């Protein structure tokens, strides 16, 4: 079955580096469509060129964050319009397979993609580097899901990280109202709740029954934007020719 990887992205100095690293990870995975969805009003040719060069099958779409959230001083619902656009794409174009939300800055062991590929309804597994406790994971007792470990539970029914679950496309298509809420901190919980009915015994536990960590919520430090500089004085725009 095909994998649909929904990746929200947005313009900043690190963007092409993040997409390059993630793209070459995805290049190790067969039968995959990468849905790269930018929080913007129009596509960026530099992003398209980067995706072409990587050579993973992709669709490049845009889905801007609604204006009301853009200018708030409070936490923003990052990547939510992008992911909901990805869900709309699947409703219009997919009939089978599995969907996974892969933020552009996280780290993924390619093994998790082969494990999630056979998800019947919803699958879950641990994510490293989440909050100050360092891991977010389903808790398993007697081989069964028995709650969640996370540094911040926040009254959530599903206190899991975005990188820690996958969903069957058929299961999604049977739930036309399923979507992600614009609610910072509650994106995963809101989306998983919108997949009701879903009972705990239907949640498949991957990564060796949640003993392995195969995905990490890594965060890239902010970098300064490249400054424009004058190359004409050197008479050559190829950086390799510029003396120290």
Look up 202 and say whether it is catalytic: no
Site membership for ligand UGA, residue 82 (CB under 6 A): yes
Contact at 8 Å (CB) between 140 and 91? no
Q: Which of 187, 189, 192, 195 binds ligand UGA (CB under 6 A)?
A: 187
Site membership for ligand UGA, residue 8 (CB under 6 A): yes
Task: Give the Cα separation of 115 and 208 in Å (integer).
Answer: 10
* CB crowding 12-39: b at 16 or more within 10 Å, else e: eeebbebbebbbebbeebeebbbbbbbb
The percent helix, strand, coil of the chain (3-state, each to 5) is 30, 20, 50
Residue whose entry in the numeric block shows the structure tokens 């879950």: 124
**Which window, 43-51, 85-93, 102-110, 236-244, contacts ligand UGA (CB under 6 A)?**
102-110
Taking the complex as a whole, how short is the minimal distance between the CB of residue 102 and ligand UGA, in angstroms? 8
- Contacted entry of ligand UGA, Mn ion, none for residue 82, CB cut-off 5 to 8 Å set by kind: ligand UGA
* Cα three-residue angle 171-138-105, rounded to 5 degrees: 80
> Which is closer to Mn ion, CB of 97 or CB of 159?
159
Could you give the 3-state DSSP secondary structure of residue 127? strand
> Which is closer to ligand UGA, CB of 170 or CB of 194?
194
Q: Which of 62, 90, 104, 164 binds ligand UGA (CB under 6 A)?
A: 104
> Which is closer to ligand UGA, CB of 131 or CB of 236?
131
Query: Exactly one of 114, 188, 202, 243 is catalytic; which is it?
Result: 188
Contact at 8 Å (CB) between 39 and 82? yes
State the residues that interact with ligand UGA by CB under 6 A. 8-10, 39, 65, 76, 78-79, 82, 103-105, 161-162, 184-185, 187, 217, 219
Residues with catalytic roles: 188
């Amino acid at each position: 079955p095909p994998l649909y990887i929904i990746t929200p992205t947005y313009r900043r100095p690190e963007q092409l580096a993040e997409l390059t690293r993630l793209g070459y990870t995805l290049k190790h995975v067969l039968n995959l469509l990468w849905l790269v969805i930018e929080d913007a009003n129009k596509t960026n040719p530099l992003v398209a060129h980067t995706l072409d060069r990587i050579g993973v099958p992709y669709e490049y779409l845009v889905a801007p964050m609604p204006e009301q959230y853009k200018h708030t001083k409070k936490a923003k619902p990052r990547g939510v319009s992008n992911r909901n656009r990805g869900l709309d794409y699947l409703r219009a174009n997919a009939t089978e397979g599995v969907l996974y939300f892969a933020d552009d800055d996280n780290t993924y062991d390619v093994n998790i993609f082969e494990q999630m590929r056979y998800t019947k309804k919803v699958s879950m597994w641990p994510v490293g580097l989440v909050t100050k406790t360092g891991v977010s994971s389903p808790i398993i007792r007697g081989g069964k899901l028995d709650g969640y470990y996370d540094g911040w539970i926040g009254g959530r029914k599903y206190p899991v990280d975005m990188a820690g679950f996958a969903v069957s496309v058929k299961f999604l298509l049977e739930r036309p109202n399923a979507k992600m809420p614009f609610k910072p901190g509650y994106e995963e919980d809101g989306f998983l709740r919108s997949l009701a009915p879903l009972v705990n015994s239907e949640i498949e536990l991957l990564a060796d029954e949640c003993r392995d960590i195969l995905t990490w919520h890594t965060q890239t430090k902010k970098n300064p934007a490249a400054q424009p500089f004058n190359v004409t004085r050197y008479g050559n725009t190829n950086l390799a020719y510029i003396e120290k």
